[in-house]
Amino acid sequence: MTASDLQSGLAIKVDSMALRGVVCALPTQVVKNQTLAAQFGEKEVNDVIKMIGVHERRLAPPHQTAADLSQAAADRLLDELGWARDTVDALIFVTQTPDYTLPASACALQARLGLKRSCAAFDVNLGCSGYVYGLWLAGKLLDGRAIKRVLLLAGETPSKITDPSDRSTAMLFGDGGSASAIEFDAGAAPAHFVLGSDGAGERHLMIPSGRYKPYLGDDARLEGRDPTCLFMDGGEIFNFTLSNIPQLVSDTLETAGKTREQVDAFLFHQANTFMLKHIIKKAKLAPERAPINMDRYGNTSCVSIPLLLVDKCPQVQSAPQTVAMFGFGVGYSWSGAVLDLPVLAVNRLIEV
């Protein structure tokens, strides 16, 4: 495993990691943004839909959490793969909406899924970049001895932390959960990652209050807002993304030794359709190789990349594919990966 610094982040090669299957679980409730016209005004709603590209989203009911959705995905994945529960050596849960402040939801999920007590389990508090970070962490854990199988869960319920009266977020985010099965395979093609962060952007996408650092009322952008709900400065996020992600695409491809034509699918975090189209154009990618599905699901944070895989890439179950993945946003944090995927035994979307 080697690592080096690039303009956009730390480049890392991971050997012996094979992705075997992915399942995403969505709530059954579908909310169409057009139904919010009575609240925000028809013109305003149409303008937002045109800009962000979200027509409908899935919202979890009050009793359903990100851990619940991810557990349902994991149960289905393990059953369809035929993995015995006592063969999972580690569980990673990526989320910013855990069940509790403590304990870690991953520990609870270990028991709920019936995994062995010797299974390592921990949460990762990352959002938009979290799925790719999770893949990297899983690859780092695999050693072919103590840890041969890792279950990566990524789940988010942004609906529980958004202010329904905030037009900038109320029509953007959707809920979901996912599970990915990752296994040690000495013959697997190397996976390549580029990871980076810039905490100078922390205040542009955040929940200002509600944990342990008191909000001092020192940000004029938050006047009249509930500081315990999600705040997003869309302009700052847009500028950060266009300034950094095209370079991330180039650096990740260079690290992997791949041309744009050698990649079957470019899977971007589904942040904003207008923004994504700009990134695809600036990165000189063929639009047909960079699918977008946020019109039906919205921005699902760390779930958006696996959701693209199961929703828009059925070919991964019939032939090996080279896939590039790019997460970016809250933190600021960003991540890129290029994986030569074997044929996936499971690639499924379910409702719960």
The catalytic site residues sit at 128, 269, 299
Residue with tokens 């937002």: 48
d(CA 184, CA 139): 8
What is the DSSP pairing of strand 17-26 with strand 346-351? parallel
Reference 350, options 316, 303, 318; nearest CA is 303
Q: Are 177 and 71 in contact (CB under 8 A)?
A: yes
Residues near 51 by beta carbon (within 8 Å), at least 6 away in sequence: 272, 273, 274
Reference 232, options 304, 118, 335, 330; nearest CA is 330
217 class by beta-carbon count within 10 Å (0-12 exposed, 13-18 middle, 19+ buried): exposed
Strand, coil or helix: 92:
strand
Which token pair is 166? 């905030």
Q: Are 132 and 335 in contact (CB under 8 A)?
A: yes
Inter-axis angle of helices 273-282 and 234-256, to 10 degrees?
Answer: 40
Q: Where is 329: in which H helix or E strand? A: strand 321-329
Ramachandran angles phi, psi of 79, nearest 5°: -65, -45
